[in-house]
């Protein structure tokens, strides 16, 4: 994986997968959607729980290199991950 350490991010990429580079190495967050102005919904991987971050928390995390952009998932893979989140919400 190639990471750009000099990035300045304003908003997560659609279907964007981000890897933690500190504290939780080996874990990822997948951007799902914006739930309200300035609040973003992610899925934590591998545990598959929903994580909400403010836009400010997200940009600070990327710009401080807490996590880095890995790739933009293909639509079919993203749909499977989103469906997985819905199943988890129904079972909880």
Q: Average pLDDT over the chain, rounded to whole?
A: 86
- pLDDT tens, residue by residue, 16-75: 999 999 888 889 999 999 999 899 999 999 888 889 999 999 999 999 999 999 999 999
pLDDT at 5 over 90: no
Own/partner long-range contacts of 76-84 (Cβ < 8 Å, ≥24 apart): 78/15, 78/30, 81/30, 81/43, 81/45, 82/32, 84/43, 84/48
Q: Percentage of the chain with pLDDT > 90?
A: 59
State residue 25's pLDDT score.
82
Q: Which of 50, 23, 53 is nearest to 38 (CA)?
A: 53
pTM of the model: 0.82
How many whole angstroms separate alpha carbon 61 and alpha carbon 73?
Answer: 20
In the chain, domain spans: 30-91
């Amino acid at each position: 994986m190639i990471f750009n350490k000099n990035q300045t991010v304003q908003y997560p990429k659609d279907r964007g997968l981000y890897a933690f580079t500190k504290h939780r190495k080996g874990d990822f967050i997948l951007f799902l959607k914006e739930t309200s102005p300035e609040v973003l919904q992610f899925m934590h991987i591998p545990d598959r729980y929903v994580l909400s971050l403010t836009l400010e928390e997200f940009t600070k995390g990327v710009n401080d290199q807490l996590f880095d952009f890995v790739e933009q998932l293909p639509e079919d893979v993203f749909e499977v991950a989103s469906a997985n989140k819905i199943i988890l919400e129904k079972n909880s």
